């Protein structure tokens, strides 16, 4: 079944890999990114070349997740060209690294914007169409930190990803009766293979950061990074995340996994989420809302046969 799919943050990292892998699997894929005519012009060209070289139904689309207007325009462009939108992959995100106290509140707000408000903007642009169809899939690229290991010096990022994961869980319940399914991808730390760590932001309050470095946390940043290096296996393969997204999309409606963990570090998220998701399901059943755990069959699922 050929789906029309948008992947956010697809200029690099998991997003770029997922867009290509979904196109290779035969889907119509929009690799969304900001500044397609500016800083990401080269990435757009790469997407076009990759599509041409492999004969894929894949292209870039301008969509800045920081702007509601841009989200609306990008999603509308996809819908007007295809008459539908089947899958939204929330992947856009950014990381920062440093002592929590040295980040300004404005930096925390910015991280929440990039990692969480971004999904809200895309949802508000896309969900009316998915609800109208009575069929769709929302894929969230969360983080193992939301339930598993949380090494220090990543507080603003972990706070944002925990917020995103919570949003994903509640949205899944509120979309189920519309015939929209939810899958949450939970990647562990991949310190190589993407620019996620290399491009991490740093605290604006340098004086506060220096106090940590001059005190009991001297050399701590390196210690944490060495800690990561010691648990990320040398063969950790970032394409495993893209492959997991393809498997989720290609699974039958109503049978897709609520979560898929791709964590070479085995930081424990899979154990915790296993317990947490069961306990949350139990609460819904206790209050008579157990139907929200499975997407309702609303529309005919034969759109690809049109």
The CA angle 186-189-194, to the nearest 5 degrees, is 100
Whichever of 100 and 251 has its CB closer to a second copy, that residue is 100
Q: Minimum distance between the CB of residue 41 and a second copy, rounded to whole angstroms? A: 27
Whichever of 81 and 290 has its CB closer to a second copy, that residue is 290
Q: DSSP class of residue 21?
A: H
CA distances from 156 to 144, 214, 295 (A): 15, 22, 33
Q: Minimum distance between the CB of residue 243 and a second copy, rounded to whole angstroms? A: 25
Whichever of 43 and 107 has its CB closer to a second copy, that residue is 107
Q: Minimum distance between the CB of residue 244 and a second copy, rounded to whole angstroms? A: 22
Q: Minimum distance between the CB of residue 111 and a second copy, rounded to whole angstroms? A: 10
Whichever of 14 and 171 has its CB closer to a second copy, that residue is 171
Q: Minimum distance between the CB of residue 173 and a second copy, rounded to whole angstroms? A: 4
- CA 191, CA 199: separation in Å to the nearest integer? 11
The CA angle 185-93-100, to the nearest 5 degrees, is 110
Q: Judging by DSSP bridges, how do beta strands 58-62 and 87-90 pair with one another?
A: unpaired
Q: Minimum distance between the CB of residue 256 and a second copy, rounded to whole angstroms? A: 20
CA distances from 176 to 1, 166, 180, 296 (A): 21, 16, 5, 6
- CA 115, CA 96: separation in Å to the nearest integer? 11
171 is catalytic: no
- C-beta of residue 229 within 8 angstroms of C-beta of residue 236: no
Q: CB-based contacts of 295: which residues, under 8 Å, 6+ apart?
A: 175, 176, 179, 180, 181, 182, 253, 254
Helix, strand, coil percentages (3-state) for the chain, rounded to 5, are: 50, 15, 35
Q: Judging by DSSP bridges, how do beta strands 4-7 and 259-262 pair with one another?
A: unpaired
- CA 203, CA 77: separation in Å to the nearest integer? 37
Whichever of 9 and 60 has its CB closer to a second copy, that residue is 9
Listed residue (217, 208, 201, 128) closest to 160, CA to CA: 201
User: Looking at 50, 112, 153, 217, which residue is catalytic?
Assistant: 153
Listed residue (262, 101, 286) closest to 185, CA to CA: 262
Whichever of 208 and 303 has its CB closer to a second copy, that residue is 208
Residues labelled as active-site residues = 153
């Amino acid at each position: 079944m050929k789906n029309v799919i948008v992947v956010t943050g697809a200029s690099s990292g998991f997003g770029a890999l997922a867009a290509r892998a979904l196109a290779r699997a035969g889907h119509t894929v929009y690799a969304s990114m900001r500044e397609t005519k500016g800083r990401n012009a080269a990435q757009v060209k790469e997407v076009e070349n990759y599509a041409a070289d492999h004969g894929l139904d894949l292209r870039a689309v301008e969509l800045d997740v920081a702007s509601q207007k841009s989200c609306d325009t990008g999603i509308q462009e996809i819908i007007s060209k295809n008459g539908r939108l089947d899958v939204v992959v929330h992947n856009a995100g950014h990381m920062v690294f440093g002592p929590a106290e040295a980040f300004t509140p404005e930096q925390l707000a910015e991280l929440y914007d990039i990692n969480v408000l971004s999904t809200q903007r895309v949802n508000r642009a896309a969900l009316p169409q998915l609800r109208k169809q009575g069929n769709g899939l929302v894929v969230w690229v969360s983080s193992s930190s939301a339930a598993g290991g949380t090494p220090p010096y990543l507080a603003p990022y972990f706070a944002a990803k925990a917020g995103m994961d919570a949003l994903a869980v509640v949205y899944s319940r509120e979309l189920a009766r519309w015939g929209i399914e939810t899958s949450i991808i939970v990647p562990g730390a991949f310190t190589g293979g993407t620019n996620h760590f290399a491009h991490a932001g740093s605290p604006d309050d340098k004086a506060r950061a220096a106090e940590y470095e001059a005190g009991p946390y001297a050399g701590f940043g390196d210690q944490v990074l060495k800690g990561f290096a010691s648990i990320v296996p040398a063969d950790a393969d970032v394409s495993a995340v893209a492959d997991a997204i393809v498997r989720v999309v290609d699974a039958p409606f109503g049978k897709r996994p609520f979560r898929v963990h791709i964590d070479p570090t085995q930081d424990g998220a899979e154990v915790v989420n296993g317990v947490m998701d069961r306990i949350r399901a139990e609460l819904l059943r206790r209050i008579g809302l157990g139907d929200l755990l499975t997407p309702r069959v609303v529309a005919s699922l034969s759109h690809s046969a049109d």
